[in-house]
Structure 1
Amino acid sequence: MYYLDKYNGVKNLFKKNIISIDIGKYTTKIVIGKGKNKEIIIDHVFMIDTPPESYEDGYIKNLEAFKTIIYNILSKNKIKEKEVICTVQSREAITRELVLPYVKSDELSSMIDLEIEQYLPIRLEEYVVEYKILEEFTENNMNNIRVLVAALPKDMVEIYLELIKSLKLKPLALDMNANAIAKVFEGELTINNENYSLDKTVTLIDLGYEYINITIIDKGVIRFNRLIHQGGKDVDINIANTYNLSLEDAQQRKIEYANLEELNGLSSTSMLNEIVQSSVDIWIEEIQKIFRYYNSRHRGNKIDEIYLYGGSSNIKNLSKYMTDNLNIPTFKINEIDNIKLGKNSGEINLEKCLNAIGALIRR
């Protein structure tokens, strides 16, 4: 999905370094990289605290604060690249899969607009709408086309455009997190030293600070995306209230000491583990609802594997706990073979930067 500058004549991986920015409620990720021989080469990764009360549900609330922190990090590190992609996640983003009669490409946009006006509860003039062709197929002797449609509020898109231009940078695209991460899984690759099979239906779960983003990929094609209004923040609040800690200290205690394999014990962390477990159980319940809905849509729909990323994927033994409770093999993403580190990149928290990295792939 491309918003700021549709397609821009660019396809596949960029062959020169591009700045990719993923703004989150808690952390803003800036990745600078390019494509080379089907690989993504990451030259720089910067993770900076998002200014307090400056970002909410996809909206930049304090443009000057973001302009300052991004300018400072790029200037301090002598970053010369000028072209920028941003990726965004919001409850106000609307994604739908539509099946339409096959038409020529110059007629497709008009048909999609008619479908949106008829079936979606939005005023079309207030949204930027883009689409991605998923497949063409024949059914009952009719030629059809399946498209993924995404719509973002215009005022949200415009503030990203204003931010980039205020930095005297060139906007290339505004991508959606679900689309960005899905592109990483569109081809053959190795995850955690194991081959990823395009024959499987996998769910990518971004365990973010405010939201859990669920994206279902079937045979390399994005089929479904939903946001759950739960996340690491809920765990942190419960820990902070129990132990009288700040949210920052609660988050640190969660990652350092919580372990979902040490439940119902007598250790000093037993209460902490139970607090984390109670939140994770709520996540699992919401995920199961989404899976039931997805499986009910078409006969034969079934989730084969789950991959976790995002900050809360670092909770110890979370993947095993989810495997046991969802009865679906679940893995935390630690390594992807076609994502390579350049000489200047340093250490990289892959699980926190995947949305920004995926946005570097232009399909």
Structure 2
Amino acid sequence: MAKKVLSILIGSECTKVCELNYKKKYKNKGIRVYRSLVFETPKGSVEDGFIKDMKVFGEELKILLKAAKIKSDKVIFSINSSKIANREIVMPPVKEKKIMDIIKTGASEYFPIDVDEYILSYRIIEKTTAASKRNQRKIDKKEKKLAKKQAKENEKALKKKSKTEIIAENMELMDSIDAETDYNNTENDKISLENQSKEIKNQMRLAVYAAPAAMIKNYYSFAKLMHLDILAIDYYGNSSYQAIRRQSKRGINVYVQMNEQDTIISILKNDILILQRTVSYGLYKLINIIQERGYGQDGDEQDPIVLLRDNDMLSRDEGNIELEEVAISDSYGSTASRQALRESIRESLFTLVGNVVRMLDYYKSSHKQIDIDTIFLTGALVEIKGVEKFFSTGIGLPHKLMTKLSSVSASKRATAFRINPSNFLSLIGAVLSPTDFVPYEFVLKKQRRSMVIATTFLTLVCLIGSIGTVYVSYTDYQMASMELEEIRSEYESMELLSGAHDAYDLATAELMDLEKFEEMTGSNNDKIKDVIEQMEKKLPSSAVIHSMKFTETGVTMNVTANDEGTGSNALIAKILKQLKGIEYFQDNVDISGINVENRDGISKVNFVITCTYVN
């Protein structure tokens, strides 16, 4: 059964929370939203994704979680911040465990930042193989055939046209020539792209992210304060993509997701991300425009949202819309009417339309042979009345509102989610395939924990082996003792015979042999557990033991440790002094095979420790 987790998006103005089921690998299985919650972020507590006042924000979150009866202590955060950098890179296919090392090597080229102060993560967008390219070429050929068929049908239609229509078309001759030129250019582009696809071999497209280490630690500190266990921390853009790709239709589609502070525009081909950009225009910018015109100045901040939801403020035809005349006095003492308010809203939203158009133009400049199928409006746009017609008119492409999410269901208690599911796209995507930013300190702790577990396991194995040996010896001794007692009893009850004394001597000799055998079972290896425990105390915390060999005379270890900035000689001298303090070895300690190497800016010292037991 899937466990419940919290998916939280903390914004400067608004915070969203979902309680939903969680599995590490979802594949095509559905998601169930149990509870949802949207509330205004306490002013000044959050700035550009960074939680400045944890106490104030934490208290508000606790109260609202308790009121909503949300009890899960597992959490996944999705961070929306301009401080998180992202780049798309292309590389030859390699094993996944080597990808991060390659990214770290070229990080300074991808990001104009101090990489030491950032945490890197990535997501594989697409793996292109020779087989997939062949399939794509087949699809392109089919599309060409359909285009030629359509062209022939158009030619037949032209022959049937009247003289008036032909004259009208001749008047537009220049336009047709330009169109023909564009068509030829398109065909040339197709040929060049096909040739290029033949030349390029297998490759991978990656989205690489760099988040400030201080920001990630900030969220871990907040989770500790709230007694929450972090499962993952995701980047907002990736969260949006992971949710949208599961809603994606066949073909080339555009998804415009308006949020409180910004808008994410994503272009997908089937379920593969082609292009994604973030525009600094969100719902609150539109609300501010409305409030600047005087509407909603009575302190009810929901008024502008209700206005946009219940009234078509984007249409030029006022129709029968009933809206009170709003008087507003500026520095000149003028009064603005409702028509001026509507024009301000339209003008403001045209900013977003312009950004979408520019992004589509940029996309078409490099993909001239591919047309956009549909533009989907999601997020806060779904709640704006008349927005679908407004965007269709401004862009000239079919638009649809994303009012439902496929493979996502909600209980009756998830009220906020049920009102507008697409407003929670990023929270859904965060649990599907997060980038998972983890501070370097937590990685080291995990490595140390693994080392302790391995060492403890080795100790237990040795201890169990020793106990088994002692038990077998003790059992043999007990059996021999019982046999001796039986022989003595028989001897005492028997009459004096010449052979009885010899039998007694033989049994006594066997008993002595067994006692000597028992003494021989004791060895220096009985000290293994104590030696390992003292080794853990004496060796540096950064030391990693690669191998450990115990013999009757002593122990040999292969060790790697950080020089901690003091140099390898100082480190070796310190370790030598520490190990000589172990009573079983004293001065019988030798360090050899010293080798210094630099890994990721950290100086590692490899060496062999040989310790001989004191007789």
TM-score (normalised: structure 1): 0.85
> Shift of residue 235 of structure 1?
2.0
Task: Report what 2:484 is aligned to.
Answer: none
Moved more, 228-237 or 29-38: 29-38
Task: Report what 1:201 is aligned to.
Answer: 252
Task: Report what 2:233 is aligned to.
Answer: 174
Match of 2:32 among 36, 41, 48: 41
Q: Distance in 2 between matches of 1:228 and 1:141?
A: 33
> Shift of residue 172 of structure 1?
0.8
Moved more, 267-276 or 313-322: 267-276
Are the counterparts in 2 of residues 180 and 356 from structure 1 also a CA contact under 8 Å? Answer: yes
Task: Report what 1:148 is aligned to.
Answer: 207
1:60-116 residue CA offsets vs partner (Å, 9 max, x unmatched): 222112211221122334433111001122222222221112222232212222333
Supply the AA of the counterpart residue of 1:352: N
Question: Does 2:374 match 1:323?
Answer: no
Are the counterparts in 2 of residues 207 and 231 from structure 1 also a CA contact under 8 Å? Answer: yes
Are the counterparts in 1 of residues 283 and 380 from structure 2 also a CA contact under 8 Å? Answer: yes
Mapping of residues 1-363 of structure 1, within 5 Å? 15-34=2-21, 38-138=29-129, 139=197, 140=199, 142-187=201-246, 197=249, 199-243=250-294, 245-246=296-297, 248=301, 249-263=303-317, 268=323, 269-300=338-369, 302-346=371-415, 348=418, 349-362=420-433
1:280-300 residue CA offsets vs partner (Å, 9 max, x unmatched): 111111221222223334454
* Secondary structure of 1:319's aligned partner: helix
Are the counterparts in 1 of residues 308 and 385 from structure 2 also a CA contact under 8 Å? Answer: no
Q: Distance in 2 between matches of 1:129 and 1:301?
A: 34
Supply the AA of the counterpart residue of 2:372: I
Distance 1:186 1:103, change over 3 A: same
Supply the AA of the counterpart residue of 1:213: I
Distance 1:101 1:203, change over 3 A: same
* Secondary structure of 1:165's aligned partner: helix
* Secondary structure of 1:28's aligned partner: strand
Of all paired residues, the percent bearing the same amino acid is 25
1:183-206 residue CA offsets vs partner (Å, 9 max, x unmatched): 22334x5xxxxxx52x32222222
Q: How many residues align?
A: 342
Are the counterparts in 2 of residues 236 and 254 from structure 1 also a CA contact under 8 Å? Answer: no
Supply the AA of the counterpart residue of 2:413: N
Structure 1: segments with no counterpart, 5+ residues:
1-13, 190-195
Q: Distance in 2 between matches of 1:276 and 1:102?
A: 48
> Shift of residue 277 of structure 1?
0.5
Q: Distance in 1 between matches of 2:105 and 2:369?
A: 30
* Secondary structure of 2:78's aligned partner: strand
Supply the AA of the counterpart residue of 1:357: I
Are the counterparts in 1 of residues 7 and 17 from structure 2 also a CA contact under 8 Å? Answer: yes
Moved more, 301-310 or 219-228: 301-310
Bigger RCO of structures 1 and 2 (CA < 8 A, at least 6 apart): 1
> Shift of residue 322 of structure 1?
0.5
Are the counterparts in 1 of residues 9 and 80 from structure 2 also a CA contact under 8 Å? Answer: no
Q: Distance in 1 between matches of 2:112 and 2:426?
A: 28
Are the counterparts in 1 of residues 87 and 110 from structure 2 also a CA contact under 8 Å? Answer: no
- Higher share of residues assigned helix: 2
> Shift of residue 221 of structure 1?
1.8
Task: Report what 1:3 is aligned to.
Answer: none
* Secondary structure of 1:355's aligned partner: helix
Q: Distance in 2 between matches of 1:245 and 1:77?
A: 28
Are the counterparts in 2 of residues 202 and 216 from structure 1 also a CA contact under 8 Å? Answer: yes
* Secondary structure of 1:358's aligned partner: helix
> Shift of residue 362 of structure 1?
3.0
Are the counterparts in 2 of residues 264 and 274 from structure 1 also a CA contact under 8 Å? Answer: no
Structure 2: segments with no counterpart, 5+ residues:
130-196, 324-337, 435-615
Is the radius of gyration larger for structure 1 or structure 2?
2
Supply the AA of the counterpart residue of 1:152: A
Q: Distance in 1 between matches of 2:83 and 2:48?
A: 8
Q: Distance in 2 between matches of 1:336 and 1:156?
A: 31
Are the counterparts in 2 of residues 17 and 34 from structure 1 also a CA contact under 8 Å? Answer: yes
Moved more, 323-332 or 70-79: 70-79
- Higher share of residues assigned strand: 1
Distance 1:314 1:182, change over 3 A: same
* Secondary structure of 2:357's aligned partner: helix
> Shift of residue 301 of structure 1?
5.1
Q: Distance in 2 between matches of 1:237 and 1:252?
A: 14
Task: Report what 1:9 is aligned to.
Answer: none
Supply the AA of the counterpart residue of 2:352: W
Supply the AA of the counterpart residue of 1:146: R
